[in-house]
Structure 1
Amino acid sequence: SPEPVPVPAAPMGRGFWAVMTLIGILILLIIYAQVQGITRPVSVNLTGTSWTLDSYADAAGRMVTVNTGNEVNLSFDPENTTTLDGYAGCNWYSYTYFRYNTTMLQIGNGTSTQRFCDDTGVMQAESAYLRDLNNTSVVRFRSGQLTLYDATGKPILIFKQSSS
């Protein structure tokens, strides 16, 4: 009996290659958009915005998530002032700040209330938060998240935008 001759597969048509090309272009656009969002931070007008702390750098420099129930927030005052203020977990604070361009941020003189809270964990977190706030050099905004960096480019505070 004769051996069956294999039938070659049908060549891929133009439609198949058109679809593959479009998929490739879409993937490249997605990658390009992601890279642009990382390397070119979106300029945001911080005036009049409010933020809730999500995580901060502890004394060892590790990023730590804020404990549930420990509300720490930051607000940039309205009407083009250069004041930011908020609640650090136990005490209220207020600082001046200076923006040199879309990303450079320098925290200036500030004050805070001097309450003592019984919870040492809250006091330690507050101390780390205020230290990180004072060490801020760069601010970046992306997708409703505000990240503050130190002079070495290390993230030290990450906020989520508040509704109020």
Structure 2
Amino acid sequence: MAPCPLHQRQRQHRRIAGARHRYHPVFDGDGTLSGGSAGCNAYSAPYRVNETGLSVDRVIATKASFTEPAGVMEQEKAYLDLLRSAAGYRIVGDTLAVIDGSGRAILFFTTEG
């Protein structure tokens, strides 16, 4: 069986409307999504994947609260909420698009290196 394409390389977030922070999610082969910082807090979550389906369960994050840069907490909440709503994915070239339950691309990541 071919390895899951999500496990291939670390990915760097490419786009979230108005985002200043870059996200670096790592889909570990053991079913753990780890990503360092969500803007302010460290986060991780178990995930499940099949050929085109992706679900991210029980996102956990530390509980720090930052006021700078302006909007960082709102951006972090939006990012984690989008992860929670993941229902699928598509990979085209070096871009991973995370898809929600209605088939809409909600997050875009590119591979590093």
- If the length of structure 1 is used for normalisation, what is the TM-score? 0.61
Structure 1 residue 123 displacement after superposition: 1.1
Structure 2 Cα separation of the partners of residues 142 and 66 of structure 1: 23
Write the mapping of 1:122-141 to structure 2, written as runs, cut at 5 A: 122-141=72-91
Query: Which residues of structure 2 form unaligned runs of 5+?
Result: none
Partner of 1:157: 107
Q: Do the aligned residues in 2 keep the contact of 1:94 with 1:112 (CA within 8 Å)?
A: yes
Offset of 1:44 from its aligned partner?
5.0
Q: Matched residue of 2:25: which SS?
A: strand
TM-score, scaled relative to structure 2: 0.86
Paired AA for residue 81 in structure 2: R
Deviation of 1:143 after TM superposition, in Å, equals: 1.2
8 Å Cα contact 1:147/1:156 also seen in 2: yes
Q: Does 1:47 align with 2:7?
A: yes
Mapping 1:1-164, distance limit 5 Å: 44-47=4-7, 49-56=9-16, 64-67=17-20, 70-77=21-28, 80-86=29-35, 87-99=37-49, 101-119=50-68, 120-163=70-113
Asked whether the equivalents of residues 59 and 80 of structure 2 are also in contact (C-alpha less than 8 Å), the reply is no
1:95 Cα shift? 0.4
- Root-mean-square deviation (Å): 1.7
Give the % identical residues: 29
Please give the alpha-carbon distance, in whole angstroms, between the structure 1 residues aligned to 2:105 and 2:67: 29
Secondary structure in 2 matching 1:90? coil
Q: 1:65 to 1:118 in 2, by over 3 A?
A: closer
Could you list the per-position Cα deviations for residues 12-68 of structure 1 after superposition, in whole angstroms to 9, with x for gaps in the alignment? xxxxxxxxxxxxxxxxxxxxxxxxxxxxxxx95212521111123xxxxxxx1532x
Aligned residues: 109
Higher strand residue share? 2
SS at match of 1:128: helix
Inter-partner Cα distance in structure 2 for 1:83 and 1:53: 17
CA shift, 1:72, in A, is: 1.8
SS in 2 for 1:96: strand
CA contact (8 A) 2:59 2:84 kept: no
Partner of 1:13: none
